[in-house]
Structure formats: structure tokens, C-alpha cells
Chains A and B, each alone.
Chain A
Amino acid sequence: MATQGRTLPIGPTDNTSEQRTPRARLHLIPTAARASFVPFVPVRGSLRQGETDLTRVTPDRPRAQGTAIEVSGTVRTASGTPVRGGLLEIWNANTFGRYTHIEDCAPDVPIDPNFLGMGRVETDEKGQYCFWTISPGAYLARPDIGRWRPKHIHLSLAGGASRLITQMYFPNEPNNVTDPMAILMGEDFHRNIGVVYQTPERDVDHGYRFDIIVGGRNATFFE
């Protein structure tokens, strides 16, 4: 059992990390207050039709530019229990490395009129999920020092006491090794890289398996 809380690391060459990472050591939570720190997120259906296929803005519209991929896997807690009915929120840049988010003002990087880049999917009874998207482009995150963000897909998972925000990275990408968050993960980084598989007879180029394990004491608090 830990006797003192962590000091959070700061992502190298990440200015926002310098600005926003608490400097003081985190305080431990006394046992008597522990339960109050475990949010239990209510399940509320709010999915829209076609949201699991990010390769089209709506099912009747054309395919976006770039390589269509499938991403699938299971979501479990560290003890192996499937996270059922969990809400997975997904967002990624288009094939050129541009988000449709209103605050992404990247100059000279085009918007694809057939790509929104945001979707949602629920995990099933076995904790499984599957969605389609466009393989995202890398983008220049720090023009001043020439640092790129590697290709990645953002994933946010909420289900019961399980809460995780993470990113899936791609194998053999040259920018992986210079990414501040990947550097902080160190040898654990490989667990955040999708594993390629083939997708015969499905209307995507190939797939990535990305199994998600939600760790920490919160995730298993009510098991």
C-alpha cells in the first residue's frame, strides 16, 4: 500500500503539460472518504444512427478520403470483468491531420467535407466494441520545435465505476518515440498501440485490435 501519493510527471516538450500539471505531491485519500471518490456514471442512451461508422458523415453520404479502418476489442477491468454497456466516445483527425473541432485552426491543413471525426459506440454484453474510422494523419503540434503528434485515435470510456480517457497509437510510426505522452508511458507504451488484423469481406482496408483494461481502484470498487 502506498504511503504517499504520486508526483505527476510533466510531458517533455509539452508546454500545456508544464502549465497544467500540479507540482505538489498528490494527497492520499483517507479510508473514510474513499467511497465518495468513485463516480458511478449512469447509462443514458444518446447514440445517433450511424455513429459507429466515422468514415461517413451519415450512412447515405460518400466515404471520407484516406484509408478506412476498423478498430475493435474488448473492455474489461483489471480483474477481467467485461465492462458492459459502457459508452465509448471516439474522435480523431482526418487523413490530413485536421480535426473538425471548432478550436482546431491549423493553417493550410484541409478539412474533408465527408469526415466529421467523432462517433460513439456502446460495449456489448461481453464488453466488446467495434467501429470504423479513417486512419488519422499525424500533425505538427509544435511548429516552433518541429515536433509532430503521431497518428492516434482518442477514446473515452465511461461505464459504471470504470472511467478512462486514452489514445490508441499505430505501430511503427516514426513520431511515436518523440511524443511527450508516449515518453511518459515509457515501456508501457506498447499497450496503447493497436495490433493489425486483416478484414476480408468487410468494407475497410484493415483492422486494429485494441483491448482496453480499465485499472485503478475506482474501476473495481463495486465488483
Chain B
Amino acid sequence: MAILVKPDTKVLVQGITGSFGGRHSKLSLEYGTQVVAGVTPGKAGQKFEDTVPIFDGVAEAVKETSATASAIFVPPPFAADAILEAVDAGLELVVAITEGIPVRDMIEVKAAINGSATRLIGPNCPGVVTPGTGKDSHGGCRIGIAPGYIHKAGDIGVVSRSGTLTYEAVWQLTCNGLGQSTCVGIGGDPVPGSTHLDIIKLFNDDPDTRGIIMIGEIGGSAEEEAAEWIKENCKKPVAGFIAGTTAPPGRRMGHAGAIISGGKGTAEAKIAAMEEAGISVAETPSQMAEALIRIL
């Protein structure tokens, strides 16, 4: 039954009173997600959309509502603190949506939370969706900014560094009648809380996930590391796509982590590693679902 979150997962939102956080919290509520608390320091006692209680801190919110997951929408200068607060409160899952957190902050956060029981997804990511079984996948758990209606409950896991490219893959799956167990956007930053490999392992262990789509892009070597593990250990068919074959070296392609530097992190190397691992790599982004269907 899915990874990371289930339809009944209780979610709190840090930064629920900001315009971006508010808009997406409302969409999550409409999707049927259990958004049980908001956190904005100084605004305790207020209610979001007249229903969701707001707290000054994460620990109080957890105590009062038993939330186990958090979505972080706070602005970049305060995001590292928000993540550490959520980890300190003992949440199982923290999803940092915020784009533009300084790398140094994330280096510190990642070192500080090493060994804690909390799983961090993001930052700079679209979030996590476990689709529900209602119309247009209503009733699922949507943490973040992904469009809910493109999903469909099912047994394909999706993990990706890119937002809109994830939606593209999910939509292709849904249009082909293939639902998703969980879709995870791990984000486009150079220091991600979770890597492709972390999520692939969860999908591999999830009895309700039958196949996996892994979407990567230039920069770093996370896709190669995942491919190496998949080759030896993954019990499930994996399809993939890598964006950035045409990206010039040395330039940051939108995402902070999407850069070929010192000849490393090229799309060619990633695609070769994935093919070597038996992953079905889509030639164009229009064929991500097809690439999976071929091997299911």
C-alpha cells in the first residue's frame, strides 16, 4: 500500500499562511488529503480556511493533532530552520517544497539530521502524492504542489528530480490506464534529502508497487548510483528517462543541481549506466510510460 504516505496520513503545513503554501494547502484539502494543522510562528489560535488549526510551532501541532508528515513552504532564508524544527518534533516525513535554499544550509541540515528517524524529501521539489481511489484520484494524500487530478490509484512508482516532467510521466501512465502507488519528486537541488536510490529501495520493498519509473537529469551521479543498485538488487521492472542530452556543459539548467561540471554528470553517462543495469530508457520524454509498459 504505497510508500511514504497513505490516504489517511495526517499532514501539517509549515508556512500555511503564505500565499503559495496557502494555495496548495487548499488544493490538498480539496483533494481529500488529511491536512490537520498549519504552523506559522505568532499565529497560533487562528484557523486556515476556517477548519485547520494553526500553531506557533511544529511540536505543539504534532502533540495536538498527531500529524506524522510535514510540508514546508517557508521562504528560503528560514527553510533550513523549518526542516530542523520538523525533524526535532519527530515527524516521520518532511517534504521541503521551498526552492532556493542555500546549498550550505542544506549541507548542514543533511549532516545534522543524519541518523534521525525522519525522512526528508526535497527541497525544491513538487512533493509526494499517493493517489486516492475517488474520481480523478480524489481521497489521496497530496503533499506539495503536484496537480492531483492527473493521478490514478495503482501500482506504478514514480521518482523524479523534476516537477513538470513527473506530471508528464504520471499523465502518460494514467492515460494508458496505469495507476500509481506513489509519486515522489525528490527535487532539483544538489543536496537532496532523499536520492533516487533511497526511494527505489522503498518501492522495491513495497508489495503494492509492480513497476517503477525513474526520471533523472544532468548533474551529480545519483542516477548512476541507483542504476548500479538496481542491476544487482531490484526485483521490479524499471523504466527511466534522463533530461539534458542537449545541455551545454558548465551551465546550470534551471535547477541548481542540473549542471555538467568537470565532464561529470552528463546525460550520456547516466543513460549508459541505466541501460547497463537493464533499465528501459525512453528515447523521448513522450515515451516514458511506453518504456515501462514494454517491460511490465
Chains A and B form a bound pair: no
On B, residues with C-beta under 8 Å from A are: none
